[in-house]
Each structure stands twice: as structure tokens, then as C-alpha cells.
Structure 1
Amino acid sequence: MRLSDFVQHLINAFSLGGIYALIAIGYTMVYGILRLINFAHGDIFTYGIYFAFYGVTLFMFPWWLSFITAIFFTAFLGALIERIAYRPLRNAPRISALITAIGVSFFLQNFATVVFGGRAKSFNPQTGMYPVYFLKILKLGDVRIRLVTLITLSIVAVSLLVLVWIVYKSKVGMAMRAISKDIPTTRLMGVNADRIISYTFMIGSSLAAIGGILWAMTYPQVYPYTGMVPGLKAFISAVVGGIGSIPGAMLGGFILGVSEIMIVALFPSIAGYRDAIAYVILIFVLLVRPTGILGVEVSEKV
């Protein structure tokens, strides 16, 4: 493989890994606070794409306003799911919350099928989703890179930096980290735990919407089950990096994205097994380090 081809594949790999990381953070933030795997997170990813699509095609918003509106409504959807489905089960057995999460996922998929239709919708410049020049090919020597790939990398980097600032520098982030350690004690210190948990769902859902829009710009279509495979791979990323660890989710997403693209690029004969690579990595990491690369042992909350 030529060096230019290697660099081109590597840039694409980091772009895909960044999208996985954005989605994985939503899983890991919720688990870090509630010890709950939000299996509906992949479907929230799908709704973010639908909101952006209909913002342009139905309400005739400019593409940039449609994207911002989609992120806002997806954040609201995440908070609504937490308020209706998860909050009443806060003190219920873990298995009850797990079954509810699976039920919410099925509900969102079938609701999307009924409301939006089961046929895939095109998410490309021809339908006004974003400017045509986003598909421009940039030439850097022998390296050919789509502009949308560089845009994806830039947005992923900014999103992750903003998230790190929120979690580690803001009062909301401080409250999130406190709740992840001990909810009852944090309540005694005057923190409104329910509000902070809602904020957590909103932030995670916002990142899922951003990841969904970037995904649709790369793979230009949306249907009710769009988020199933990316959501599953993002969950694997969170487990590989260490479920409950935000840096771990970032690391796991990039590991999965880079591995998936580079292995196929180096060994084209196994391209048909691309989706299986994620499961091989997951099994290997769980055998070597069950808590994930950056994960730590945690005890169940009481």
C-alpha cells in the first residue's frame, strides 16, 4: 500500500472512530451515573437524523438551522425518555430498568416506522440537506480527501473538547461526577440529582444527534433502524474503553473506527467480515481486561 493511500484510509478511520466515540459517550455517561445501559441510545441517534431531515424538507429551514434544531429536539427527547421511562424505576431492580430500556428501543423503532415510514430517505445535497461543496474532493499531494471527512473530524474534535470542559470544569459536570460516586450523599449536599441526571441524558442525546448527522452525511440515507448497527458498535466501543469512563469511550471509539477501516484496507479479502471486527476486538479486550482499557471496578449503588 502506498503511503498516500495509508494516510487517506487513516483519516477516514479517525472520522469513523470519532462518530463512534460521540455515540459511545452517551452510553458511558448514563452508565456511569445510573449503572444503566440505555439500549435506546442508538434509536435516539436515528431520531436526530430524522429531525434534521424534516427540518429541511418539511419546515424548509436552512441546513445549518435544521441541524441545530435537530440537536436541540434530540436532547429534549433524551430528557423525555429519562423522565417517563427511567425515573419511575430509579429504585427498582436493575433488571426492570434493563427490560424497560429494551422496550423503549423497540417503541422508538416502531414509532419511527409508523410515523416516518419504513422506506429509506435520501440525506444528500440534492435534497437540500447540506451544501454540495461538502462533497468536494481535496487533493493534498497524492492524498484525496472528501471535505465532509475533514468537517466530521473538526466537529468531533470541538464536541469532545466542549464535553470535557462541561464534565471537568463546570458545576454541572462536578455534580455529575459526584452523583456517579454516591447519589444519596450528593442529594444531602443540596444537589438536585434528578435535574442533573436529566442534563446527562440531554448531553448524551445531543452528542448522539451530532454523530447521527455526521453519519448521514457520510452514509447518505436514513430509515427507522439506521442507528442499530452504529449504536451497537458504539456500545462495544464504550465497553472496550471501559464503560463508565468518558476518556475510555473516546479511546474505544477511535480504536474501533481505526481497526475497522485499516484492517479492511490492509486485507481487502476480509472486507465482508468488517462488522465482525468489532466483536473480535470486544472478545479480546474482555478476555484480557474485563473492565475495559480504562475501566475500573465499581460497586453497585444502593
Structure 2
Amino acid sequence: MSDAARTTTGMLSFAMRSLNEWMRRATWVDAFMIALRIALLALVAWGIGGSLLHENYTFTQVVSFAVFGLSIGGIYALIALGYSMVYGILRMVNFAHGDIFMLGAFAAYTAADVALKNGGIWLAAPVAIIVPVAVSCAVAICVERIAYRPFRHVRSLAPLICGIGISFILQYTVRGAFGTRGRAFPDLAAFSGNVELMDGISIPKVQIAVFVAAVFVMAILYAIVMWTSLGKAIRAVAEDRDAATLMGVDVDRIITVTFALGGAIAGIAGLLYALVFKQIFFFMGLTLGVKGFCAAVIGGIGNIPGAMVGGLLLGLIEALGPLFLLDGFDVASPYQLRDVIAYSLLLVVLVFRPRGLFGERFAVKRA
């Protein structure tokens, strides 16, 4: 018998032993989960196949949808980073984070509006960046002091309830200040117009700018966490808070800084969202906060690279999913169901990888 034949025989024998061992230990739940995974894969393959056969969209339209998906995915990723950073260091979810993002959008709107009326376009751009970062950062620090620090050593639902309470306080404070109707974000000339690419593909400048800005902010945050003394302290507290205290790390300061970083990033995300969609309203923090949390869970909550990848993937699936999936089932107005696609992605990821795309690797590193 040749070496190749012996290798093949050995692999088949190992596979059969593994299958027999799994069948001996498996329960009906395991069988159900395998059947569910197969059914989901078949459903996705059917939808994609039907969409490709229909050929309702041109290559130019697909590229436009993909670029939009990347831009909105970058915003989701920035929101998800705030959730992941706080969860990684406290093992708690900051349920007010979505409304900190919303507050950043309104702070950017107010700053840009005032600057355009008084100082012109050259003053509006820097002010619209600095003000939402400062406001969201300050609010995030207050949230940590009020809702999380007093209950840090208490095993109860108090931080969760306080976080939700502050979320409602922020929502209705903005409602009282700006009213219930949406506000139109001022037009900034630097982001007006389109960029012409090959084959007549036209991409709005604002979408390219938002994606580049989101990637730049994510890269800066990753560099801070991985290659600075502050980042080492953050990772040490996330690994073992008590051991970090014994090594001289000021845990209270590090947790406050983590909330501040998450809030600053949420403020930038609020500005980018306002630039893309032009309309902001006081209740948008709930919807975008849930999307950001989904992105964090998809990537593996507590994992910073996972939050980045999860946000970009969620944006792409939300933009291209109706085109490549729902259209294959002849669904009328498929883009009205893009949120269904987004939350279905969360379900699929949790079915196949319950810890998220990067959660298992992160858990192994911690061990």
C-alpha cells in the first residue's frame, strides 16, 4: 500500500471514530442545532441563487451599496467599540452608550450650526469635531460615576437599571431642548459632491470620508490599547482587576479613562452619522445603540478587533443582504426589511459561533 493510500485510510478511520464518539455523546439538542445550521445555510444559498438569477442590479449599483454599507458599518463599529471596552473591563454593558452617541450627534449639530452662522465653513468643521467629542466624553464620565462606580462591588441589577434610567434621562433632556421633530444637519461644502470612479461609478464624498475617518479612529484606538502604557493598564484591569491593583495600577482612573475613550468615540460616531444621513432625532440612540451592541456581540463582545470587524460586517450585510438574499425570494421592497437582515446575521453568528467571531480566541488568550 502506498503512503498516500495509508494516509487516506488513516484519515477516514479517524473521522469514523470521531463521528461514532460524537453520536454516542450527542443529545437531541446537538442534533437540532446541526439541523438548524443546515437549514440556515440552505436558506441563504437559495436566496443568493435566486438573486443572481434575477439580475435586477447592475455592477455600479452593487458597488454603491457596498460603499454605503462600509460607511454605515464604520459607524456601527465605533459604537460597538464603546460597548466592548466597557464590557471588557467591567463585565457590564453600558446601556446608556447609544444615547451618548445621540448626544454627540446633537452636539455636532449645534456646534456646526452656530459656527456656520458666525464664523463660516472653516470654523464649522473643527468645531463640529471637537464639541461632540468633549460633550460625549464628559457625559460618559458622569455615567460611570453615577451609574457604575457605586455598584462596582455589588452583585445586583442596580448598574443595569441605572444605565437604562440615565438612557431615558438623556433622551428626554434632548427632547426638551430640541423638540420631537428631527433636525437637519447643516451642509458642509467639503463633503458635498461625488467622486467619479471607473466605469461611471459615482460615490458620494461624504461616504468615503466617513469610512476613512472611522477606520482612522479605530486604528488610533487599537494603537492606544496595544502599544501604550495606558493600553497596557487597560488590558491588565480587564484581565484581573485585583492583580492589577496589587501591581500599582489605579483601577478607578483606568475605568474612568475607558468610559471617556468610549464616549469620545461615540461622539465621533454621532458626527459621522449626521454627515451621512443628514437627519438626527432624539430617539435614534436606541436603534443605533442596539445595532452597535449587535456588532459587538457578532465580533465577540470584549474584543476590540472583533467589534471593528463586527461593525463593518453588519453594515455590509445590511446594505447587500436585501439585494443578494431577499430579492431572491421575490420580497416586495426588500430594503425596507434591512433591519431583519441585520438581526438575522446576529442569530446566524450566535448559532454557529455562540461567543462571536473572535470571542473564542479572546477567551483562550485570557486563559
State TM-score, norm by structure 2.
0.77
Equivalent residue in structure 2 for 1:176, among 211, 217, 234: 234
SS in 2 for 1:138: strand
The one-letter code of the counterpart of 1:118 is T
Task: Measure, in 1, the Cα distance between the counterparts of 2:156 and 2:300.
Answer: 20
Question: By how many angstroms is 1:234 displaced?
Answer: 0.7
1:275 is the counterpart of 2:333: no
Q: Please, which of 240, 244, 254 is the counterpart of residue 186 of structure 1?
A: 244
Q: 2:152 aligned with 1:93, yes or no? A: no
Which deviations, in whole Å up to 9, do the C-alpha atoms of 1:210-250 show, x marking residues without a partner?
11111111111222112221111110010011011111111
Is residue 222 of structure 1 aligned with residue 304 of structure 2?
no
Deviation string 1:240-265 (CA, Å, 9 cap, x unpaired) is: 11011111111110111000001223
Residues 112 and 186 in structure 2, CA contact (< 8 A), matched pair in contact too = no
**Matching residue within 205, 216, 228 for 1:147:** 205
Bigger proportion of residues as helix: 2
Q: What is the CA–CA distance in structure 1 between the aligned matches of 2:353 and 2:322, rounded to whole Å?
A: 25
Q: Deviations over 1:3-25 (max 9, x none)?
A: 22222221111111111001000
Aligned position for 1:41: 97
Q: Does 1:292 align with 2:356?
A: yes
Distance in 2 between residues matched to 1:184 and 1:133, nearest whole Å? 49
- The size of the alignment, in residue pairs, is 294
Q: Is the 8 A contact 1:49 1:213 kept in 2?
A: yes
For structure 1, which segment, 174-183 or 47-56, has the greater mean C-alpha deviation from structure 2 after superposition? 47-56
Which of 62, 74, 81 in structure 1 is aligned with 2:143? 81
Aligned to 2:195: 138
Moved more, 62-71 or 76-85: 62-71
1:243–1:295 contact (8 Å) kept in structure 2: yes
Task: Specify which of 103, 107, 111 is matched with residue 55 of structure 1.
Answer: 111
Q: 2:269 matched to which residue of 1?
A: 211
CA distance in 2 between counterparts of 1:273 and 1:7 reads 20
% identical aligned pairs = 38
Match of 2:242, SS state, is: helix
C-alpha separation in 2, matches of 1:132 and 1:172: 37
Separation in structure 1 between the aligned mates of residue 127 and residue 171 of structure 2, nearest angstrom: 26
Paired with 2:81 and 2:278, the residues of 1 have a C-alpha distance of 23
Give the 3-state SS of the residue equivalent to 1:85 in structure 2: helix
**More displaced stretch, 260-269 vs 6-15:** 260-269
Assess if the C-alpha contact under 8 Å between 2:143 and 2:163 holds in 1.
no
Query: Over aligned residues, Cα RMSD in angstroms?
Result: 1.7
Return the letter of the residue paired with 1:32.
Answer: G
Taking the aligned partners of 1:231 and 1:120, their CA distance within structure 2 comes to 18
Match of 1:10 among 61, 66, 69: 66
Distance in 1 (alpha carbons) for counterparts of 2:83 and 2:276: 22
C-alpha distance after superposition, 1:104-148 (max 9, x if no partner): 1111111211223222111031xxxxx224120121131110000
Paired position in structure 2 for 1:128: none
Aligned mate of 1:197, from 240, 251, 255: 255
Whole-angstrom CA distance in 1 between matches of 2:157 and 2:317: 33
272-281 or 91-100: bigger deviation:
91-100
Q: In structure 2, give the amino acid aligned to 1:197.
A: I
SS at match of 2:343: helix
TM-score by length of 1: 0.92
Q: Partner amino acid for 1:81?
A: V
- Give the whole-Å Cα distance in 2 for the aligned partners of 1:257 and 1:17: 4
Once residues 242 and 194 of structure 2 are traced to their aligned partners in structure 1, the CA distance between those partners, rounded to angstroms, is 54
- CA distance in 2 between partners of 1:286 and 1:41 (Å): 23
8 Å CA contact retained: 1:36, 1:94: no
Which entry has the higher C-alpha Rg, 1 or 2? 2
Q: Which residue identity is paired with 1:98?
A: L
